[in-house]
Structure formats: C-alpha cells, structure tokens
Structure 1
C-alpha cells in the first residue's frame, strides 16, 4: 500500500459520478446517508487505513467527506446519545453510539486542519464489502 500523508476529501458531486450510501451504528440509533463522489467502487476512490492507536485498535477504514455530504436521519452528533472522545494532541474528536458502542466517525477540532470535513468509518456503511475496497495507509501516529 502506498503511504499517503493527507487523504483526499470527497465533495458534493458536480459532473462526476456519485453514489449515496446508507450508514448506521449497530443498534440503528444513529442513522445517516452519505454521498460520495467518486463512489467507493470507482478506481479513483480509496479508504484510509490509519496507524494511530484508536484507528488501529478499532479497525477503522475511513473516507474523508465534506460535512454537506452527510445527512443525519435520526440523532445528530450533538445529541447526548452520541459519546465524544479525544486523546493525544486533542486535535480530533471521535464519535461513538452511546448504546451499542459503534465507532461512527471523527472530525478535526483544530482550526485549519481538515476544517468542515469528517472521517467516516466505512464499516458503518450498509451493503459495502470492505474486502473489495482500495486501501491506503496513512501515518496518523505522526500527525
């Protein structure tokens, strides 16, 4: 796998193909849809396998998307039903379902560092076989 220092960000589609994905935590308390352009099966699309301690331990496979690509169907991230966690340099906030513990996504809380972007755990996406996705390693330990 190639080492990529900073992952690319999916934006709302313009003239490129896109696909809408349904996602949720295990218990369905937190449900949302995500529009990715390009779609996950596209040759230009890949997921991030980060080596930081939380991503490695939880097996995250992330895609980075602009906030306007995500629509919450049930509770949002500000709900008391969603747990928040920060560690290390306190640059990134991680979100988990308070009921089932699913690792949903993360976002930077540092101005200028991936502002307006969320790192979504593709393992929460419905009907996506993660074994078929192109992966790129990111050295998150050093960020």
Structure 2
C-alpha cells in the first residue's frame, strides 16, 4: 500500500492534460522543459516539502517526474558543468549548477528506490507563484 503522503510521480501517460514548464538555474547554464500531468494548477497536483537536512536548509519544493518528462536544452546532467552531491545513506544524488550554485534536481541511485524518476526543484520553474502551490510534507529524514 502506498502512503497517502508518498509523492505522486508525473508521467507522460496520464488521464489528465499535461502542461509544459520552462526551467533553468539562475545563470541559465542548465535549461530544460518539464511536462507535468496534471499541471501544478490542478487540484490533484501538489509539491513536496521534505524535512531532510538538504531540502529544509535550501527550501526545496519538489515534484517527482519520470525521466521522459524532462527535455534538456543543450547539456544534460552528465556535463562536467553540473556538480553532483550525495550525503547520509548515499541513496540520492543531487545536481547543482557549477556556475551559480542552484539546486536543480535529485534522483535515487539505489536500485528499486524510485527508479527512472527525478525529484525536480520547482523553484527552478519559470513563472510559478509559489504561494498558490498545494504542499505536502514528506518525512525525508526517515529515508
């Protein structure tokens, strides 16, 4: 049984209409388009406020998406201009722009734990009113 607080994973196969969002780090070095279905303005859509040390310190608001929902413009996460960071149990890898330091997203590197899914920091999305987003807390400290 999935916990009611478990993050919804957005995919390209959904009964709800999708919405595209442009996203980038502050300096625009890393740019990408994200398709969320449902979109962030849908009542069935919400963002995650995780209480783990890195999310709470940086104020992350995350959505979870299958990898095929993300289209990178130019370079992707494997570029040497994107920094990678792991901590704690080493289950999740975080990605940061090496130039401006923005936290872009994270993904599990542990097999069987959110395979093929990235947690995107919605604060990198353009044109979002963060005050209108539905939020749910997740106990990331326990992971």
3-state DSSP class of the match of 1:35? strand
Cα deviation, 1:3-57, whole Å, max 9, x if unaligned, reads 9542110010444211000000000000000000000000000000000000000
Unaligned runs of 5+ in 1: none
Equivalent position SS for 2:71: strand
What is the alpha-carbon root mean square deviation over aligned residues? 1.2
Task: Write the mapping of 1:20-59 to structure 2, written as runs, cut at 5 A.
Answer: 20-59=20-59
The CA distance in 1 between the partners of 2:134 and 2:88, in whole Å, is 28
TM-score by length of 2: 0.96
Unaligned runs of 5+ in 2: none
Contact residue 29 and residue 74 of structure 1 kept, 8 A: no
Matches within 5 A, 1:1-143: 4-143=4-143
3-state DSSP class of the match of 1:104? strand
Q: Normalising by structure 1, what TM-score?
A: 0.96
Aligned residues: 141
Q: Retained in 1: the 8 A contact 2:17–2:37?
A: yes
Distance 2:4 2:56 in 1: 16
Provide the rounded CA distance (Å) in 2 between the counterparts of 1:88 and 1:5.
22
Q: Secondary structure at the match of 1:44?
A: coil
3-state SS, counterpart of residue 55 of structure 1: helix
Q: Contact between 1:4 and 1:139, CA under 8 Å: does it hold in 2?
A: no
